[in-house]
Amino acid sequence: MKRSLEIILIIVLVLIPYKLQAFERYNRVVKYDQYFSKYSKRYFGPGFDWRYFKAQAVAESRLKAGARSKVGAVGVMQIMPATFKEITKKNPSIKGTRKQPRWNIAAGIYYDRIIWKGWKAERSFKDRISFMLGSYNAGKRNIIKAQKIAQEKGLNPNLWASIVPALPGVTGRRSKETIGYVKKIHMIKGVLK
């Protein structure tokens, strides 16, 4: 048993740097950086690190403008049609279509801002980012339901670490996708320069 754990630990330690190296290549993909920077400043302020949104786009689409999901999400930030329509009603300065990288990125970051503003409770910056990203992926209502479950279990509902064990009770097997999504974005952000 002890030997098995040692082997697993060695495999994990070997694979983590490999995974991180795979994400480092996105440092060379700069064609959308101006949009991530511009709309991050516009919707989050000049002190906010735009690389969070680039990392999110890497997780969403690998920075591919033509990406399309099975459920109809499109573009770099994988925006759904109804979500894009809602965003453009609230923010008429987004003028193009969701298929155009500039406007897809602008809409995605603006949507992140809407979500961000909803997570005001006292928590660390990293937790707030995690709540925002988790909501982008799973929907804010599902994260709120997970908070209630976490609280019922005696966990602090304002910590992302408390949402992780509670989310399967809300979204079932899909919770692995959301938990992995948040973790992946933090990992990608860690290697972006």
**Rounded Cα gap, residues 1 and 158, in angstroms:** 36
Q: What is the pLDDT of residues 66-124, one digit of tens each?
A: 999 999 999 999 999 999 999 999 999 999 999 999 999 999 999 999 999 999 999 99
Annotated domain spans of the chain: 31-111
Q: What is the pLDDT of residues 31-72, one digit of tens each?
A: 999 999 999 999 999 999 999 999 999 999 999 999 999 999
What is the chain's alpha carbon radius of gyration, rounded to the nearest angstrom?
A: 18
CATH for the 31-111 domain, from 1.10.287.990, 1.10.530.10, 3.20.20.150, 1.20.120.530: 1.10.530.10
